[in-house]
Structure 1
Amino acid sequence: MLFCILKNFYKDIFSILIAFENNFQNILPSIKKLVYVYLVRYAEEQQDLALLSISTFQRALKDPNQLIRASALRVLSSIRVPIIVPIMMLAIKEASADLSPYVRKNAAHAIQKLYSLDPEQKEMLIEIIEKLLKDKSTLVAGSVVMAFEEVCPDRIDLIHKNYRKLCNLLVDVEEWGQVVIIHMLTRYARTQFVSPWKEVVMAVAQLYWHIAPKSEAGIISKSLVRLLRSNREVQYIVLQNIATMSIQRKGMFEPYLKSFYVRSTDPTMIKILKLEILTNLANEANISTLLREFQTYVKSQDKQFAAATIQTIGRCATSITEVSDTCLNGLVCLLSNRDEIVVAESVVVIKKLLQMQPIQHGEIIKHMAKLLDSITVPVARASILWLIGENCERVPKIAPDVLRKTAKSFTSEDDLVKLQILNLGAKLYLTNSKQTKLLTQYILNLGKYDQNYDIRDRTRFIRQLIVPNEKSGALSKYAKKIFLAQKPAPLLESPFKDRDHFQLGTLSHTLNTKATGYLELSNWPEMAPDPSVRNVEVIELAKEWTPAGKAKKENPDKKFYSESEEEEDSSESSSDSESESGSETGEDEEDSSGDSGGDSSESGSESEAGKKRVAKSSKAKGKGTPVFVPGKTHVLLHRMSGKGLAAHYFFPRQPCIFGDKMVSVQITLNNTTDQKIENIHVGEKKLPVGMQMHVFNPIESLEPAGSITVSMGIDFCDSTQTASFQLCTKDDCFSVSIQPPVGELLLPVAMSEKDFKKEQGMLSGMNETSTTIIAAPQNFASSVILQKVANVANVGAVPSGQDNVHRFAAKTVHSGSLMLVTVELKEGSTAQLIINTEKTVIASVLLRELKPVLSQG
């Protein structure tokens, strides 16, 4: 309602903004957003009044809520008033160092807006882009690369240190960000690599096409064909790319020939593109099948498609000589078709084919001459007249009669047909002057007074050339050679032949012309540039930072820990320091310099901040113990499938002895046969990328009715992907798989209520997922909630000073990201389930699993 009022009375509403200005902090966030939208829309019309709100935005940039900070920056950068450029620059600088990746993402968007408003700020914006390119958050990556492409696409040196990081982040970036990064990396690779070795190839179609060797590029064909199941807009772009590829590499798409058959429901633009691809893929082996398919297409009610099919048949006839006669005979049969458009298109194609072998087909020319009485399409009539004129000496009886008929209708013919009548008359005048001299002079007289100046010009030219007089020049002697010279046969080529120099998937490739803003791919360099520019300098971190003037205090409980635990801690800290080297060092330097304080001075990314929080939590709070260990087992191998060998597995919820990042899995093997089973071991492993597995030692033998329990460790990489492997015996191998529930990917964390609230505040906004639960009041007892939550997830209980709030804390096994679960009881029979974590995918899955468990009785 408010937005409608603002929209309808925008000329007078700026006076109300002063009232908003004075009480902006007390306004609801939803109202703030509407005011923001209004300001963006109408600020340019009343710039002086719009400037009143700038101070409000500056205060909003310091708001604790990251959504408010991001909205303020977004609106401030959208107000196109040149006088506030310095304020915008300062706001972008501060936002680029914000703790929230969402705010940093909006800072990257604001860079593009500021650059379009004031291009002179380019150098300062490049410095911010360079800083944001080092950001490790997937939320920021796509936006900052877009800003890079907009502001300084030629500064390839900024990409060197971030090249490998962008490649690694690519799979986790949102879709539009992936598109931008892929295009940028494609341009980058073409300037940095000498030849298309597979080390530089990524799993993207256009990247494979432009960079990969031919032996590797075939992998993209199946993926592109699969995209043809999408909507027509996607099909159109994909088919254009395939049409370009199929010209040079037919073998890539030949196995999928039937996928390009035309369907009756396809729109015309899709049908024509599929025809183009079928033509490119045609060869001696499949041409007979394709011609039968084309015969069906010619009968289509879509006349444009039918005409395109006839053109396709002509191209097949020129490219595959074995079927030239077959195609020509088929086209001649089409001359008797009832549809005039089909006949006309057939005439045009036959004319092109006859140019290649005119001597052999005199009968066809005679047949086409008879069609002049019925065909009215100008292009077809002009083609017939051109053919008769070129072969007038082979049809001496027919050509003069055709000239006589066309002379009668000369004044009513199309301009294209008139030109060919003039040419026919000139050729017959030179070869059969006795019969056609008067007819030709009559036609020349008609052309002399035609309304079209091209016709009049051609008439005067021909008269001076073929009718000698005192003013005739030397060219008159060569008139016959000029008019009856052997013409080269036309080349029937694909319209996609020259599109391969445009980058696939771009607007320029689609339009077949260079679009504004298109960046051409560079040629491969003769010598490879120095590859060391992409090496990132690793700075070793200090083990522990101590403020100046304070002595380091020894931990009084240090002696309590065993040597083995100390070794594990040291190895863990060293591995953490390697993965977080660059950005943490930069933050330590900023803190020690003392130049600035507060949140705005920290420039770490979302994942980096999460790792630091977990590191602090693990040191200050320590590892928790499982609240509850469910005894539920899962079938790994049924005794019928395993030929008597049965296997079950369960998750004991204890630290894995094989690695800190692995989930402990216990497998119970049972021999249900009356014979012993020998050499039980794990065979071939089929694991997703990044997943690791530590298998149990081979079991020499398992006695009849015997049972044994073994332990394994699996690094699921914080995902619920299946770990597939083979469980083998001496004689057989059985394919089995383990899929972890999301709750088993966690380890409990012990922390105080104060620490919980602090961590929860840092994981708000985009990192918070919540839902409402409805259940009977008896299901909301503390013991019931504790048991139900612990049954689903391996979490630790956090002490709570409120009876209606239950808190649980855990961290993911692989990355150590905090997972905070809150169940807040409301009035009646409702409760609020809240999960705070950087791992939003895991949070959504855990939310779906907890909700029905807490709701049921």
Structure 2
Amino acid sequence: MPPAASQRASSTSSPSGKGELAELKTQLRQLAGSRAPGVEDVKRELYKKVISYMTIGIDVSPLFSEMVMCSATSDVVLKKMCYLYVGNYARVHPDLALLTINFLQKDCQDEYPMIRGLALRSLCSLRVQNLVEYLVGPLRSGLKDVHGYVRTVAVLGVLKLYHIAPIACTDNDFPAMLKQLMLHDGDPQVMANCLCALQEILTQEGSNIEEAGLDKDFFTRKPIIYHFLNRIKDFNEWAQCLVLELVAKYVPEDPNETFDIMNLLEDRLQHANSAVVLATIKVFLNLTMSMADVHQQVYERIKAPLMTLVSSGSAEQSYAVLCHLHLLVMRAPILFSSDYKHFYCRYSDPSYIKKLKLEMLTAVANENNTYEIVTELSEYAANVDVAIARESIRAVGKIALQQYDVNAIVDRLLQFLEMEKDYVTAETLVLVKDLLRKYPQWSQDCIAVVGNVSSKHVQESKAKVALLWMLGEYALDMPDAPYVLEGFVESWTDEDSPEVRLELLTAVAKCFFRRAPETQRILGEALAAALADAHQDVHDRGLFYYRLLQHGVESAERVINPPKQAVSVFADMQNSEIKDRIFDEFNTLAVVYQQPSYMFLDKEYRGPFEFSDDASTNASATESSETMLAGQRVDASDNDLLLSASEKEYTKGVVATNGSSSYVAPSSSTMDGMGVLAAPTQTSFPAVGFAIDDLLGLSLHTTPPEPAPAPPPLVLNAKPVLNPAAFQQKWRQLPVASTQEYTLTPQAVANLTGPQALLRHMQAQLIHCIASGGQAPNFKFFFFAQKSDASAGLGYFLVECIVNVTARKCTSNYKTDESNMLESFASIFQSAILKFGS
């Protein structure tokens, strides 16, 4: 391609450098005062090009004066594009915004109402503090304009002015003017905008507009409520929702007034807009809260509109309506029990709607419809969507738990075990366990089927726990119970879940009390494995059982396997107070989230900490550590950046094992001063324990296990990639694996006048800094490194390093997902720190 052609191609793609911008500026300047035929079309094309450049992020602010000069036209399309351009650059370049005042004020007096309204909206959207004085006159004229569109824009302009300069807004009596328009204007959209603007002004802290006759209770007074109710049919859907929200807060003087309002709003229940229908339902529910009989009739009346909305519209709308219907079903299931077929899942329903319908089917099940509902749910168990299949099985189990005559339901539940699908078997075993806890009389039928389930087909931890509970509790009814437990004990070291190991230990002990000869050896092996287990809870329970057996088998049985009573009611995940709070916030996101608003709005309920803006700005996964340091310095005492491990998760000398616990069993078989036993030895127990050791086959002179092979030498990745967000997530998830404290050399302290020297030194050792901060004498650093042969997202070592230069102390808290290499990395890190300054 010739050079000239290549230059033309590059200049037309984007205004790189001065060439394209200069050309656009020249063309716009030539067209500014032109009245030639067709000039408007040329302007449109140039404006479109400028707007397209602005949209993709190219700075076209040098064309500001030319764009303003070309705005002297009656073409509404050109006006709109010019106003869009001006509004975009006015906040970035407030000095340029002064150039727009004259032509915007002139357009506010144009003969066409559309141009007047657009100009006034653009003038109020500049939101520049220095231009407030220029807004007062156009706004005052706009509120008195003869055209409704201009008044509508002016009302929202008053609200924008209030956010910029509240004092200027109230001093010019704009709230009082809005009040007059709201009560006397003939345009319903103007009234609605006045209502919205005044409500927002009243909700602002420190709003002082009482001189205008406005206070917090103004909108819940009877004349105001009836003023809007009588004109509600003239409003659009958005304005109707505003009015209905007001009515929902109104307290009628007597029941007759309640019925009058409900009769007036009766036709709103047939509205096509779901928001209007839900807002009307909220009014009906709130007005009749103290009238029990009428409140129940309201439930009957609102069923049909809600069912209609669920079956029509988009999936998202159906879900939102279904959430509100679910809330009502949970409060009054008997009223919806005859409509259970409306909650059957359709093939085309998304999974989130199916899940909600399953919960509703569970809630409305009673003696009359249980068989039909369980039959339908049983079909879902074979659904290709595994999550829905699981939910359907849980729904059958919940129905079985809440019904007294569960014979047919139990048969359906047990048939799921014949499907030979791992996830079906897992969910069924959990539900059978809960069923036996509540209805022990069904043990004979259930255990006969559960006994035929092969333990090899049970893979999920919760299913193993359920199966082990039944093996221990009903060992006499299951002939193969000791031998199945023996298989679990033999694979003790292969079991990752501590919950399964805990339940296995208990199940073996229960089986021993019922069938001692067959289980004696298994119990000994289980106790030995538990006492050597690295998980603290498993170790402690094994030690507890061992000491109970030392005291006597009868005493141990009274503690481990006492007589049990049937469970009457299972704990509900959500208490009644929370449900009432959600119901009080009907027709809000609280119903969709199934949480009161304070749980997702208040900061104290939002969950764990997050990185501050300073620590996460301008950082990307491909940046080097040296680049990240610029702009990422943080205050070492800022707990919002990262929680101090020394304060929150400090556990001295602890190394996590398998990521499940921070406890490591002692290597030597000794008992400390507190009586904590690591493993049974001949000198660890009094003589009374020898019989138990012999009985259970606990060898007191076992051959020590071969030492584990030494891990390969640790080699660090020279260019690890870890952005602040990923660092934060890993830091929050991983436990503190180890803590070290050592003394710095005088040379290191002398060089630590600022953090940069240390960061460069550590980076040379392939240990990179993600954030740092503090002032002398205290500094805080967050380092990370990665194992060279680790796969993506793994093999990271995270360190919180706290340095006190006065005491010459350095405390390091380590977290890692490579626990077997932690000792090697800690040695590398300590060596790097101690070499600093040498």
Query: Among the aligned pairs, what percent are the same residue?
Result: 23
Check whether the contact 2:155–2:194 (CA below 8 A) recurs between aligned residues.
yes
Residue 471 of structure 2 corresponds to 388
2:230 aligns with one of 168, 175, 197: 168
> Offset at 1:53?
1.1
**Secondary structure class of the residue paired with 2:242:** helix
Correspondence 1:198 to 2:259: yes
Residue 194 of structure 2 corresponds to 144
1:145-202, Cα deviation, whole Å (9 max, x unpaired): 333443324822145232112112222211122223222321x225977999323333
CA distance 1:440–1:184, change in 2 (3 Å): farther
Correspondence 1:341 to 2:423: yes
Check whether the contact 2:182–2:195 (CA below 8 A) recurs between aligned residues.
yes
Within 5 A, what are the aligned runs for 1:739-818? none
CA distance 1:221–1:310, change in 2 (3 Å): same
Check whether the contact 2:108–2:117 (CA below 8 A) recurs between aligned residues.
yes
Residue 208 of structure 1 corresponds to 284
Correspondence 1:352 to 2:434: yes
In 2, Cα distance between equivalents of 1:95 and 1:441: 90
Check whether the contact 1:130–1:158 (CA below 8 A) recurs between aligned residues.
no
Residue 3 of structure 1 corresponds to 48
Deviates more, 1:363-372 or 1:239-248: 363-372
Residue 547 of structure 2 corresponds to 467
Residue 349 of structure 2 corresponds to 266
CA distance 1:112–1:308, change in 2 (3 Å): farther
> Offset at 1:43?
2.4
> Offset at 1:89?
5.3
> Offset at 1:431?
5.8
1:40-79, Cα deviation, whole Å (9 max, x unpaired): 2232221211232133322322223222222122222322
Partner amino acid, structure 1, of 2:229? C
1:122-145, Cα deviation, whole Å (9 max, x unpaired): 856644543343234211233333
Residue 310 of structure 1 corresponds to 393
> Offset at 1:407?
0.7
Check whether the contact 1:449–1:456 (CA below 8 A) recurs between aligned residues.
no
Correspondence 1:35 to 2:82: yes
Residue 72 of structure 1 corresponds to 119
1:51 aligns with one of 95, 98, 115: 98
**Secondary structure class of the residue paired with 1:283:** coil
**Secondary structure class of the residue paired with 1:199:** helix
In 2, Cα distance between equivalents of 1:419 and 1:59: 81
Partner amino acid, structure 1, of 2:564? Q
> Offset at 1:86?
4.5
Residue 536 of structure 2 corresponds to 456
1:130 aligns with one of 179, 191, 201: 179
In 1, Cα distance between equivalents of 2:252 and 2:136: 32
In 1, Cα distance between equivalents of 2:506 and 2:139: 72
Check whether the contact 2:86–2:97 (CA below 8 A) recurs between aligned residues.
yes
1:685-712, Cα deviation, whole Å (9 max, x unpaired): xxxxxxxxxxxxxxxxxxxxxxxxxxxx
1:242 aligns with one of 325, 334, 357: 325
Deviates more, 1:370-379 or 1:457-466: 457-466
Correspondence 1:181 to 2:243: yes
For structure 1, the residue ranges without an aligned partner over 5 or more in a row are 521-857
Check whether the contact 2:71–2:82 (CA below 8 A) recurs between aligned residues.
no
1:451-486, Cα deviation, whole Å (9 max, x unpaired): 5xxx3233224413542499x9x9x96773366463
CA distance 1:111–1:422, change in 2 (3 Å): farther
Within 5 A, what are the aligned runs for 1:65-104? 65-88=112-135, 91-104=138-151
Within 5 A, what are the aligned runs for 1:426-575? 426-428=509-511, 435-436=518-519, 438-450=521-533, 455-468=535-548, 480-481=558-559, 484=562, 486=564, 488-489=567-568, 491=570, 498=579, 500-515=582-597
Residue 421 of structure 1 corresponds to 504
Check whether the contact 1:7–1:38 (CA below 8 A) recurs between aligned residues.
no
Check whether the contact 1:318–1:492 (CA below 8 A) recurs between aligned residues.
no
Check whether the contact 2:501–2:538 (CA below 8 A) recurs between aligned residues.
no
CA distance 1:465–1:378, change in 2 (3 Å): closer
Within 5 A, what are the aligned runs for 1:631-650? none
Correspondence 1:409 to 2:487: no
CA distance 1:485–1:104, change in 2 (3 Å): farther
Deviates more, 1:432-441 or 1:50-59: 432-441
1:485-522, Cα deviation, whole Å (9 max, x unpaired): 637355386979726524322111111223479999xx
**Secondary structure class of the residue paired with 1:321:** coil
Partner amino acid, structure 2, of 1:328? V
Partner amino acid, structure 2, of 1:142? A
1:155 aligns with one of 196, 209, 216: 216
TM-score, scaled to structure 1: 0.54
1:330 aligns with one of 397, 412, 418: 412
In 2, Cα distance between equivalents of 1:119 and 1:402: 76
Deviates more, 1:267-276 or 1:21-30: 21-30
CA distance 1:257–1:374, change in 2 (3 Å): closer
Check whether the contact 1:133–1:145 (CA below 8 A) recurs between aligned residues.
yes
CA distance 1:256–1:461, change in 2 (3 Å): closer
Q: Size of the alignment, in residue pairs? A: 512
CA distance 1:462–1:398, change in 2 (3 Å): same
Structure with bigger helix share is 2
CA distance 1:131–1:491, change in 2 (3 Å): farther
Check whether the contact 1:206–1:503 (CA below 8 A) recurs between aligned residues.
no
Residue 547 of structure 1 corresponds to none
**Secondary structure class of the residue paired with 1:152:** helix
Structure with bigger strand share is 1
Check whether the contact 1:422–1:459 (CA below 8 A) recurs between aligned residues.
no
Partner amino acid, structure 1, of 2:570? L
Partner amino acid, structure 1, of 2:383? S
In 1, Cα distance between equivalents of 2:156 and 2:599: 18
CA distance 1:280–1:41, change in 2 (3 Å): same
In 2, Cα distance between equivalents of 1:130 and 1:19: 41
> Offset at 1:337?
0.6
Check whether the contact 1:334–1:343 (CA below 8 A) recurs between aligned residues.
yes
Partner amino acid, structure 1, of 2:51? L
Partner amino acid, structure 1, of 2:250? A
> Offset at 1:398?
4.2
Deviates more, 1:343-352 or 1:148-157: 148-157
In 1, Cα distance between equivalents of 2:156 and 2:381: 52
CA distance 1:26–1:268, change in 2 (3 Å): closer
Structure 1 vs Structure 2 CA RMSD:
3.6
CA distance 1:84–1:437, change in 2 (3 Å): farther
In 2, Cα distance between equivalents of 1:440 and 1:325: 36
Structure of higher RCO (CA pairs closer than 8 Å, 6+ residues apart): 1
> Offset at 1:396?
7.4
In 2, Cα distance between equivalents of 1:288 and 1:425: 38
> Offset at 1:218?
2.0
1:289-320, Cα deviation, whole Å (9 max, x unpaired): 22332232223222222221222222222333
